[in-house]
Structure 1
Amino acid sequence: MTTWSEVINYVRVRYEVLEETDDWLRFRLDTAADRTQQVSLHHVPDGDGVAWVEISSPVGRADAVDAARLLELAGTTLVGAAAVVDGVALLKHTVPLEDLSVQEEFERPLRLVVAHADAFEHELTAADDF
């Protein structure tokens, strides 16, 4: 069984951690063309007590992003759903923590969410704010 602590330790070893609490972690990854992208992980228990890890990466400020275009772009991705949280448009994907293969079921979706969020940020805002 994979634990939240194992996921956090995996991230600490590989990425630049910017902020951390007991159930939340924000870090930065390098992406294409000298761009970077922030990503957050949230430890989320569901009603049945099963733990999940939510991977989210910002696309831009919600009031500055064409929401219809973001939804169209999000519809082309293998992982990730468009959402707005605290005024920030983002892509997010959730994986069950129990029996999680960190390499296949965490790292691959993480990389895909981040790559798409960065590409969408570039297209929708022409910036690299996140």
Structure 2
Amino acid sequence: MKTLRLLLILPGLGAIAWGAVLFAEYAFPLSPDVFGTLGWLVGGPLVHDLLIAPLVGVAGLALSRFLPERWKTPVKTGAVLTGVLTLIAVPLLWRPFGGAANPGLHDADTVTGLLVSLAVVWAGVLTSVLRRNARGQVGREVS
């Protein structure tokens, strides 16, 4: 088991070392771009760990405590999909050409696309809950 762990750790350490070499080539000599990059490398994990993760945890706890049982799974699934879709859309919402050039991507209306996607997700959540409710009522009538 220890040999297997060592074999799994070695490629990871090699990747970290290669990333450090590439960053050193990019960072030296120092330029203003390097400080912006360091801001993203340090700030991103800090914003996630200090702001986003606790908020998501509190929201998940609240959903699990206050929702009826038949609503829990569909609403949690909808919340996760909402987060993922919003995360994917953030670069294009933040700046119109924030991502890499992709034919057909930048000429679309990102806000409308996100809102339509979220409407489809939450319509699916509502449909799922209503189907569960109908199935539960049928089961009660039969027994």
TM-score, L = length of structure 1: 0.30
Higher strand share: 1
- Looking at both structures, which has the greater relative contact order when contacts are Cα pairs under 8 Å and sequence separation is at least 6? 1
TM-score, L = length of structure 2: 0.28
Higher helix share: 2
Structure label with greater radius of gyration: 2
